[in-house]
């Protein structure tokens, strides 16, 4: 569509998968949008292929032209590769004449520390704002979940665009409103976006979203693995199980696509299922690792998130595993076929583990808000994850309700609804973990989630002995069960009769 000489409402830099889809989504909602890409031919082809959008797409061959095309204050969305490319783009924008009142929105998967640093570094020269975008290519095109964080005044400028293009939830059902198509966006409903807090808050929440996504995917993969080995079912039979599961509590995008992946035939040999032809070596781009690293830094027990990252690392050492498989002895799976009632037990195990994974993610954000001086609204976070993003699920409505009931909820497991769910499912969960161990089937996320649950509900853990060991070899001191917290003692080991000294 032609620009008709009007200044564009918004600009976007970076026309790879995410940028081009987000630009079309924005244009579908009637906003005029100026677009720029480092490689000009990419921009030219994009504009030529998409001339019929409700809002104008204005292709710009230089950043000077790009800046001149935008209304003031300019709102510029940057969707380039996370890392130094973001700083390159900002510096180039400054050199091209960006003004202090202009807002630069980094919508890539940037590390939250970079966002905090950039907001400070560019203060006075521009308004730097961060926003997580989830939902992949299709989400960007037809309604992502958007997690903005930064200066509230910058949010005022971005808000109308973000609320228009985000996925929409039907307030009556709490479910996403489907049906967006090119040129026909969904209107009405509650937008899956909300201002989350200053500086890196949006990118941090997006990172935790991805950390939870890692566990969600790992848990589903473990359920598939156990079903496959314990029941010896073909992929299409397993797909039917996942399709049935998608009609209940586990109803989610990831379960839905799992069924599709399992049904897919190999394009090179339709007699085979594609899943059997895909190498069992997982890749990763780093956000799961960041989440686990942040949990370690903040001292939050997000063990299933870390386990999901390590599970990918273990999968990646394929050649080593092939050698070890011939040398290391243990139970050989697949010797016995289990009755079909194990399917329901695995479903329960998956559901309980999933509750623990989310509990860990929210526990991590609870700690992060203290360390980074944010005030996160967990009910809002759960609500904007109900649609558009990769972890969207019926379950997120329940989390939204849990935090609405009790905004200061310490741990999701303590909410009455989730307590009940785990009470119902935990016998099956334990049975599945035992079966996995007995048959030598690795199920690290199921196991770590159960360990998290049992540790969290244990009033006494073996850390008393551990503190004794620490005091023994390093005089690290210990607290006593019969003294107030914060009072530390030390014994001159190893003579058990020697008096203890208060330190
Ligand atoms: P990529 O992450 O693959 O980045 C490609 C884009 O960055 C191209 O437009 C490229 O321009 C541009 N670029 C690079 Br690389 N270096 C540049 C530089 N120094 N200066 C200017 N432009 C530069 O794109 P993507 O997959 O669309 O992802 C964009 C962002 O969104 C990333 O942060 C990503 O992590 C995040 N994200 C991606 C997904 C997904 O599903 N792909 C989902 C959610 C979030 P060129 O054409 O000239 O090379």
- Residue 252, beta-bridge partner list: 393
88 lines ligand 1 (CB under 6 A): yes
**Is residue 169 helix, strand or coil?**
strand
Same domain, 100 and 223: no
Same domain, 245 and 389: yes
Q: What is the mean pLDDT of residues 338-358?
A: 95
361 lines ligand 1 (CB under 6 A): no
Whole-number Å distance between alpha carbons of 308 and 265: 27
Q: Which of 142, 175, 199 is the last residue of a domain?
A: 199
Spot the catalytic one: 127, 168, 206, 354. 206
39 lines ligand 1 (CB under 6 A): yes
Whether 502 and 488 have beta carbons less than 8 Å apart is answered as: yes
pLDDT of residue 6: 63
Active site (annotated) includes residue 213: yes
Residue 42 CA, ligand 1 centroid: distance in Å: 12
**Chain-wide mean pLDDT for the chain?**
95
Q: What is the mean pLDDT of residues 6-11?
A: 91
Q: Which residues of 87-109 are buried (b: 16+ CB within 10 A; e: fewer)?
A: eebbeebbeeebeeebbbbbbbb
Same domain, 167 and 214: no
Count of structural domains, the chain: 3
pLDDT of residue 248: 95
Domain that holds residue 186: 10-199
Q: What is the mean pLDDT of residues 385-397?
A: 96
Whole-number Å distance between alpha carbons of 140 and 21: 5
Same domain, 88 and 138: yes
Q: Which of 199, 219, 242 is the last residue of a domain?
A: 199
**Which tokens sit at 62?**
């230089």
Same domain, 437 and 488: no
396 belongs to a structural domain: yes
Whether 86 and 108 have beta carbons less than 8 Å apart is answered as: yes
Q: How many CB atoms lie within 10 A of CB 263?
A: 17
143-185 residue pLDDT tens:
999 999 999 999 999 999 999 999 999 999 989 998 888 988 9
405 belongs to a structural domain: yes
207-256 residue pLDDT tens:
999 999 999 999 999 999 999 999 999 999 999 999 999 999 999 999 99
254 lines ligand 1 (CB under 6 A): no
- Residue 135, beta-bridge partner list: none
Q: Which of 169, 199, 229 is the last residue of a domain?
A: 199
177-198 residue pLDDT tens:
988 889 889 888 999 999 999 9
96 lines ligand 1 (CB under 6 A): no
Give the position, in ligand 1's atom list, of the atom nearest the Cα of 80: 7
Whole-number Å distance between alpha carbons of 72 and 103: 10
321 belongs to a structural domain: yes
Percent of the chain at pLDDT above 70? 98
136 lines ligand 1 (CB under 6 A): yes
Residue 78 CA, ligand 1 centroid: distance in Å: 9
222 belongs to a structural domain: yes
Same domain, 191 and 67: yes
Give the position, in ligand 1's atom list, of the atom nearest the Cα of 18: 27
Whole-number Å distance between alpha carbons of 413 and 220: 20
Query: Which CATH number characterizes residue 478's domain?
Result: 1.20.5.320
4 belongs to a structural domain: no
429-485 residue pLDDT tens:
999 999 999 999 999 999 999 999 999 999 999 999 999 999 999 999 999 999 999
Query: Which CATH number characterizes residue 451's domain?
Result: 1.10.1040.10
Same domain, 280 and 363: yes
Query: Which CATH number characterizes residue 47's domain?
Result: 3.40.50.720
Active site (annotated) includes residue 247: no
Residue 156 CA, ligand 1 centroid: distance in Å: 26
pLDDT of residue 415: 98
- Integer angstrom CA distances of residue 39 from 91, 110, 242, 262, 417: 17, 22, 43, 38, 52
Q: What is the mean pLDDT of residues 267-291?
A: 97
Whole-number Å distance between alpha carbons of 431 and 345: 8
pLDDT of residue 495: 80
pLDDT of 21 over the 60 cut: yes
Same domain, 139 and 256: no
- Integer angstrom CA distances of residue 384 from 81, 194, 253, 390, 472: 24, 7, 15, 12, 50
42 lines ligand 1 (CB under 6 A): yes
pLDDT of residue 277: 98
Quote the crossing angle between the two packed helices 201-231 and 253-263, to the nearest 10°. 40
Residue 285 CA, ligand 1 centroid: distance in Å: 13
Whole-number Å distance between alpha carbons of 351 and 345: 10
Same domain, 273 and 325: yes
pLDDT of residue 100: 97
Residue 108 CA, ligand 1 centroid: distance in Å: 7
385 belongs to a structural domain: yes
pLDDT of residue 5: 55
149 belongs to a structural domain: yes
pLDDT of 333 over the 90 cut: no
386, exposed or middle or buried, with CB in 10 Å at 0-12, 13-18, 19+? buried
pLDDT of residue 288: 97
Same domain, 159 and 133: yes
pLDDT of 1 over the 50 cut: no
Whole-number Å distance between alpha carbons of 473 and 2: 75
Same domain, 427 and 398: yes
Whole-number Å distance between alpha carbons of 146 and 166: 6
Give the position, in ligand 1's atom list, of the atom nearest the Cα of 17: 27
Whether 149 and 196 have beta carbons less than 8 Å apart is answered as: yes
pLDDT of 97 over the 50 cut: yes
**Which tokens sit at 250?**
């586990």
Same domain, 124 and 68: yes
Closest CA to 449 of 349, 372, 370: 349
Which residue, chain included where needed, has tokens 């991590």? 364
Closest CA to 235 of 259, 257, 256, 271: 259
1 belongs to a structural domain: no
């Amino acid at each position: 569509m032609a620009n008709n000489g009007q200044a564009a409402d918004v600009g976007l830099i970076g026309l790879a998968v995410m940028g081009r889809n987000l630009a079309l989504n924005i244009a579908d909602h009637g906003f005029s949008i100026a677009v720029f890409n480092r490689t000009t031919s990419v921009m030219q082809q994009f504009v030529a292929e998409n001339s019929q959008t409700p809002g104008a797409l204005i292709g710009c061959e230089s950043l000077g032209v790009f800046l001149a095309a935008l209304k003031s204050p300019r709102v510029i969305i940057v969707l380039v590769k996370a890392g130094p490319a973001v700083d390159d783009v900002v510096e180039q924008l400054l050199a091209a004449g960006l003004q202090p009142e202009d807002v630069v929105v980094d919508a890539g998967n940037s590390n939250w520390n970079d966002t905090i640093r950039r907001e400070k570094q560019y203060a006075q020269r521009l308004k730097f704002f961060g926003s997580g975008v989830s939902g992949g290519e299709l989400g960007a095109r037809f309604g992502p979940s958007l997690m903005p964080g930064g200066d509230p005044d910058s949010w005022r400028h971005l808000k109308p665009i973000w609320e228009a293009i985000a996925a929409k939830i039907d307030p009556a059902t709490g479910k996403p409103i489907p049906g967006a198509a090119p040129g026909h966006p969904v209107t009405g409903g509650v937008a899956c976006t909300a201002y989350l807090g200053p500086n890196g808050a949006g990118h941090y929440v997006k990172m935790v979203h991805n950390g939870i996504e890692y566990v969600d995917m790992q848990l589903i993969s473990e359920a598939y693995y156990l079903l496959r080995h314990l029941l010896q079912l073909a992929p299409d039979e397993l797909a039917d199980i996942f399709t049935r599961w998608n009609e209940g509590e586990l109803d989610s995008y990831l379960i839905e696509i799992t069924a599709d992946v399992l049904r897919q035939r190999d394009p090179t040999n339709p007699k085979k299922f594609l899943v059997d032809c895909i190498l069992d070596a997982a890749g990763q781009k780093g956000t799961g690792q960041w989440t686990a690293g942040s949990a370690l830094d903040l001292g939050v027990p997000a063990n299933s998130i870390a386990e999901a990252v390590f599970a990918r690392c273990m999968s990646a050492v394929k050649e080593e595993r092939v050698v070890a498989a011939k040398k290391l002895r243990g139970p050989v799976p697949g010797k016995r076929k289990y009755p079909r009632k194990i399917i329901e037990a695995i479903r329960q195990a998956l559901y309980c583990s999933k509750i623990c994974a989310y509990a860990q993610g929210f526990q991590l954000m609870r700690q992060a808000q203290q360390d980074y001086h944010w005030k996160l609204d967990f009910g809002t976070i759960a609500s904007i994850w109900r649609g558009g993003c990769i972890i969207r699920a019926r379950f997120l409505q329940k989390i939204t309700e849990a935090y609405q009931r009790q905004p200061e909820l310490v741990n999701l497991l303590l909410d009455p609804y989730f307590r009940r769910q785990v009470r119902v499912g935990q016998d099956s969960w334990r049975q599945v973990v035992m079966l996995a161990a007995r048959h030598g089937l690795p199920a690290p996320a199921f196991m770590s989630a159960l360990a998290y649950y049992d540790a969290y509900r244990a009033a006494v853990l073996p850390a008393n002995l551990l503190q004794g060991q620490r005091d023994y070899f390093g005089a690290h001191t210990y607290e006593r069960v019969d003294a107030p917290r914060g009072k530390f003692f030390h014994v001159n080991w190893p003579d058990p009769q020697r008096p203890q000294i208060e330190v």
